[in-house]
Structure 1
Amino acid sequence: MTQAVPQAPPREELSHDFFPVLPSLVLRSTRGNYDIYIRSDDSFALYAKAGDSFTEHHERILLNSGRKNVYIRHDQRPEYFDHITSHLGETLLDEKIPRPTRAQLFYETSLEIVEEIFTEELPPGIDRGEFNRVFEFVTKGVSFLTLENSLKTMGSIIAHDYQTYSHSLHVFVYSQLILQTYSFAERDMVQFGLGAILHDIGKRMIPEAILNKPGTLTTIEREHINTHPVHGAGVCARLPLSQDALNCILFHHEKLDGSGYPCGLKEPDIPLPVRAVTIADIYDAIRSSRPYSDGTDAFRTLRIMKEEMPTQIDMNVFKRFIQILSGNGII
């Protein structure tokens, strides 16, 4: 790769036209279809052209010069994330990259993938290309989350401002960590992960005015919201998902005492992976800020769950979740 001679950027290339990226996240020895810029005050100079190979030598030059970030144009954001996603597995397990950096990569790439699915316009089905991206991400994410202290590393990154897509990512992370404490095969963990990350996909069928309403829902609006598990199962019906994954999508609002929906299932009929997803779902929902309410801290969220839902959630699974949060310094 030949380092480009910094050039004066066109006048229209202002700071809002670019987004920052850590040099270590410009994947070494690969060729991305996007330009890389360096910044000096409010000016941006081309550092590497699309198609050039970014090496460890170039990264070291940047770091030695005190540059903490390089920049990519917003109009090339899709190309950047396509490139990152295609190399995600090897990057997440690359011990040469600091773990906090890999955690940030995992979180930001995940949000990009999940947001794309949840903001897709009608028709509501997920096409095979979208599913393949999610499957690849979940498979690699399952491996990354087995690394020691993965949640502790991500603790400062997870933002508790509620969006359906970020919430789905959090539920994936928390439920995976719970289910890791059991002896499931990796292929099963991947299916549980798919169910967790797609558990709210049916909300694509619910009007945003209802989802984001800054106040109490009417009875009709609440009934509309409560259809999202069934819609979700319908959206995913033709995808190569196991019954375990579909159960997580369809039953994540069921409660052990039969007070949940859509089927009013009771304890014997609610599978363990669903119970884990339910606990992760409730925890993140209470923890996060919404248009109509502020979020709560982790300790108070757990207290609410323990005191107000003892007959609704699996308390043995809940205790494991508390141990995970405690072991990772969250509480």
Structure 2
Amino acid sequence: MKNAPPPKAAPGGAARKIAHPGAVGGEVTSEDGTRFFAVSPLMLFPETTPEFRVYLNQGGRFVLYTRESESFDETTRRALFNLGIDKVFVLAEQKDRYNDYLEVNLARILDDSSIPVEERAQTFYGAAEAILEEIYSTRLPEGLSKKLHDRVLSFVEETVRFLSRDDSLKNLAKLISHDFSIFSHSVHVYAFAVALMSAYGLSDEECVRAGLGAILHDIGKAKIPRSILEKAPAELSEEEQGKLRLHPIHGVSMCSMLPLTQDSVNVILFHHERYDGKGYPTGTAGTNIPLAVRIVSVCDVYDNLTTAKPRQKALTPFEALKRMREDRAGAFDLDVFKRFVLVLSGAEIV
């Protein structure tokens, strides 16, 4: 049911740039204290029934536009955007419903060329963080449930093609946070890794298998005491280092009852192996380490170095790559490292 008056066009009738199109953005509070967040009308698809209310901001007054289970038709959706209405509003208390809606329609959003790629990148990033945050805040370290596994797998299947686009990483680079959390780190490593796998010409199916391992590569850290995870590497005792080095094995154990492919398991288990054989847990070397694992290893170290942690300053991309090349000589497949630099150069973050 439409309760709002007809929307007015922006000056000149031109559409304005969308400020906050992604999962959640632009939160505002009405005069009566009700909180809303802003989303793009292009994120509301016809032939769907969102389980949240949509409001318009009419001169500072929030007016109900659609109720739960009502859908926009394509004409209305497009008209809002073309008339310069770059934001509609959803109740902050219905944030979870909106994120569920985005997740269900994620593939459709990412494939929709009418939505600018930078806005699709923001949607990808918001959805990814929401999923990973739930994984790391729900009943771990007992193990990853089949339900959560299926949810992550679906996310990977729906996003691999988008991440393979030449301009996706460039737009995601603007969103990458330099404040560390395990789930944001996992999102970054996944995005970097799929972009690099695509540069090697790996198929979508191969990217899905290895990408699932990349997004879950640090899940075993849920079994490591927080006191160890929060220390800088130089502060760890030999005993603490030994416990930390068990996280790849813990990760595989936590996923042992799930239908992971060998490619996914390899990434989780071997992502701390080194090309010179001095890594862990097995000391595997050279091309005996699968290509996808060598790719994830480079992405993992790069993101760790460029992210601030307790008592550890984030390096610039240039500083991180320089340290990887000079201080960790022998750690990486040089061809993978060089190709990663080229991928980053195309994203304009080196």
TM-score normalised over the length of structure 1: 0.91
1:126 maps to 144
1:72 maps to 90
Which one of the candidate residues 132, 137, 154 is aligned to 1:114?
Answer: 132
Question: Matches of 1:241 and 1:258 in 2, distance apart?
Answer: 26
1:318 maps to 337
Counterpart amino acid of residue 53 in structure 2: D
Q: Residues 135 and 318 (structure 1 numbering): CA distance in 2 closer, same or farther, change over 3 Å?
A: same
Structure 1 window deviating more from structure 2 (303-312 vs 19-28): it is 19-28
Q: Residues 122 and 110 (structure 1 numbering): CA distance in 2 closer, same or farther, change over 3 Å?
A: closer
| Contact 1:9 1:45 (8 Å CA) reproduced | no
Structure 1 window deviating more from structure 2 (198-207 vs 145-154): it is 145-154
Answer yes or no: is 1:280 the counterpart of 2:279: no
C-alpha distance after superposition, 1:87-137 (max 9, x if no partner): 111210111111111111111111111111122124522222211111111
1:36 CA displacement: 1.7
The count of corresponding residues between Structure 1 and Structure 2 is: 326
Question: Matches of 2:107 and 2:38 in 1, distance apart?
Answer: 22
1:265 CA displacement: 2.0
| Contact 1:4 1:49 (8 Å CA) reproduced | no
1:11 maps to 32
Structure 1 window deviating more from structure 2 (109-118 vs 25-34): it is 25-34
Structure 1 window deviating more from structure 2 (40-49 vs 71-80): it is 40-49
Q: Residues 315 and 41 (structure 1 numbering): CA distance in 2 closer, same or farther, change over 3 Å?
A: farther
Paired residues for 1:81-160 under 5 Å = 81-122=99-140, 124-160=142-178
Answer yes or no: is 1:251 the counterpart of 2:270: yes
Q: Residues 219 and 4 (structure 1 numbering): CA distance in 2 closer, same or farther, change over 3 Å?
A: farther
Any idea what SS the aligned residue of 1:179 has? helix
1:284 CA displacement: 0.4
Question: Matches of 1:207 and 1:74 in 2, distance apart?
Answer: 34
Counterpart amino acid of residue 153 in structure 1: N
Question: Matches of 2:244 and 2:193 in 1, distance apart?
Answer: 23
Counterpart amino acid of residue 312 in structure 2: S
C-alpha distance after superposition, 1:33-54 (max 9, x if no partner): 1112334687543222111102
| Contact 1:25 1:105 (8 Å CA) reproduced | no
1:316 CA displacement: 0.7
| Contact 2:141 2:254 (8 Å CA) reproduced | no
Any idea what SS the aligned residue of 1:46 has? strand
Any idea what SS the aligned residue of 1:34 has? coil
| Contact 1:176 1:193 (8 Å CA) reproduced | yes
2:186 maps to 168
Any idea what SS the aligned residue of 1:311 has? coil
For structure 1, which runs of at least 5 residues remain unmatched after alignment? none
Which one of the candidate residues 191, 196, 215 is aligned to 1:178?
Answer: 196
Counterpart amino acid of residue 217 in structure 1: L
Which one of the candidate residues 249, 254, 265 is aligned to 1:235?
Answer: 254
Paired residues for 1:198-277 under 5 Å = 198-213=216-231, 216-277=235-296
Counterpart amino acid of residue 317 in structure 2: A
| Contact 1:4 1:47 (8 Å CA) reproduced | yes
Paired residues for 1:184-203 under 5 Å = 184-203=202-221
Give identity over the alignment, percent.
38
Q: Residues 207 and 26 (structure 1 numbering): CA distance in 2 closer, same or farther, change over 3 Å?
A: farther
Question: Matches of 2:180 and 2:74 in 1, distance apart?
Answer: 37
Q: Residues 47 and 219 (structure 1 numbering): CA distance in 2 closer, same or farther, change over 3 Å?
A: farther
Question: Matches of 1:34 and 1:209 in 2, distance apart?
Answer: 40
Q: What is the root-mean-square deviation of aligned Cα atoms in Å?
A: 2.3
Which one of the candidate residues 67, 71, 75 is aligned to 1:53?
Answer: 71
Structure 1 window deviating more from structure 2 (79-88 vs 48-57): it is 48-57
1:61 CA displacement: 5.0
1:66 CA displacement: 4.7
For structure 2, which runs of at least 5 residues remain unmatched after alignment? 6-28
Question: Matches of 2:282 and 2:59 in 1, distance apart?
Answer: 59
| Contact 1:32 1:52 (8 Å CA) reproduced | yes
1:304 maps to 323
Any idea what SS the aligned residue of 1:180 has? helix
Question: Matches of 1:216 and 1:67 in 2, distance apart?
Answer: 53
